[in-house]
Amino acid sequence: MEKTLKSLSRFSASLCAALIAVLVALASGNAYAGRSCTAAKLSPQAIERSLTLAQQTASALENTYEKDGTRVVLLARAGQDLTRYQQTWSHVAWAYRLPTGGWQVVHKLNDCGSDRSMLMRHGLGEFFLDDLWRHQAAWHTVPKAWEEALWSLLQNNTRVVAMHEPRYSMVSYAWGTRYQQSNQWAAETLALAAEPGMLSRQQAQGWLRLKDYKPAILEIRALTRLGGRATAANIAFDDHPNAQRFANQIETVTADSMLAWLERLAPGGQGRTGL
């Protein structure tokens, strides 16, 4: 069975209250989006900037809720520098408004640089409490026809894990099922919310194709692939078709491609915050 989702306190509008959650996270957190647990500790300045970004984002999402009732968005952060791959954002989560108020995220995280992953619930403060490449965030709404179903699914600990594959690769093939990376889980979970009768990841991917989702194609050369596979347990390329792999074309689900797809489906639903 899947691990029970870990529930953490949602981000508070008060910076002092948020600092308490930060101390807990620093003491017990052990999962990162494709990063090692031995990463350097954050400086007080980085913590302050992350919490400020979380406050800005919470305020902006609440304004969106008050304006049109939006209760779910795809939320992206810039945890790594991916500019060499023409990508702006590195990781997405589903952010949803709690029935009691405030916003929480559910997302898939790599377990300390291993080949395994887990799903976790975090407040916005902890979501941004990372060694961010840029202290900026982006989000996009989903089509209204799917929003209520997605909002309900994200709060259901049984259904939210239905599309989760624990075997992890940071560059998993967008149309494969051997591995699954964080953004891929988010896309396939939206498919499940839109079509609740789905029973497999293959069906979810078929729905994504039908809805014209287009993965990113990253140019990753052979030496880079060999180095990554040899030194990192959370990177694998053996699920990609040989023709694409040998042509250095790695087709994977990126945060940028998901945001662009949602903009095509629900134009004008984007937002940004940042320092």
Q: Would you say 54 and 36 are in contact if contact means Cβ atoms under 8 Å apart?
A: no
Question: Does residue 190 sit within a domain?
Answer: yes
Question: Does residue 147 sit within a domain?
Answer: yes
Question: Does residue 118 sit within a domain?
Answer: yes
Q: What is the pTM of this model?
A: 0.86
Question: Does residue 170 sit within a domain?
Answer: yes
The structural domain count of the chain equals: 1
- 74: helix, coil or strand? strand
Q: Tell the residue number behind the tokens 């999402």, with chain if given.
A: 61
Q: Tell the residue number behind the tokens 């040899």, with chain if given.
A: 230
pLDDT at 233: 87
Q: Going by C-beta distance under 8 Å and a sequence separation of 6 or more, which residues neighbour residue 170? A: 34, 110, 181, 232, 234, 235
Helix (H) or strand (E) holding 191: helix 182-194
Question: Does residue 49 sit within a domain?
Answer: yes
Question: Does residue 144 sit within a domain?
Answer: yes
Question: Does residue 6 sit within a domain?
Answer: no
Task: Give pLDDT < 50 ranges for the chain.
Answer: 1-32, 34-36, 38-39, 223, 227, 229-230
Question: Does residue 1 sit within a domain?
Answer: no
- 238: helix, coil or strand? coil
pLDDT at 37: 61
Task: Give the structural domain span for 78.
Answer: 15-274
Pairwise CA distance, residues 226 & 238, whole Å: 11
pLDDT at 139: 98
Pairwise CA distance, residues 42 & 27, whole Å: 12
pLDDT at 190: 98
